Amino acid sequence: MDGVLKSWAVPKEPPLEPGVRRLAVEVEDHSLDYANFEGVIPEGMYGAGKVEIWDKGTYQLKHRSINKIEFSLNGEKMHGDYVLIRFKGNRNWLLIKKKNP
């Protein structure tokens, strides 16, 4: 999106069942060159810790505003319609898997 990798840290596993809500903390955008990066970022550096690709696939953007992003995922683990809703004035969002109509 916008020529970069948009990223959110999801402390608990992303929702796979409809209606489940998870905290998603927005982190800095990354260059598309990092799309396949996995490894360990050393202590003291930004983003320190283990980096792993949890899922891979495609998305379709359905709606985007400053406080809400609606999209469909077709990944190896995550499928279906999702929404990210921003908490007021910060980088915390709710990630919700939508129920199928």
Alpha helix segments (H runs only) across 1-101: none
Q: What percent of the chain has pLDDT over 70?
A: 99
Q: Report d(CA 3, CA 45) in Å as an integer.
A: 24
pLDDT at 101 over 70: no
Which sequence spans correspond to the domains of the chain?
5-97
Residues 6+ apart with CB under 8 A from 81: 62, 70, 71, 72, 97, 98, 100
| pLDDT tens digits along 64-90 | 999 999 999 999 999 999 999 999 778
pLDDT at 34 over 90: no
pTM of the model: 0.85
Output the CA torsion sign for 66, 93, 32, 18. negative
pLDDT at 23 over 80: yes
pLDDT at 46 over 90: no
Average pLDDT, the chain: 90
pLDDT at 16 over 90: yes
Residues 6+ apart with CB under 8 A from 44: none
pLDDT at 3 over 90: no
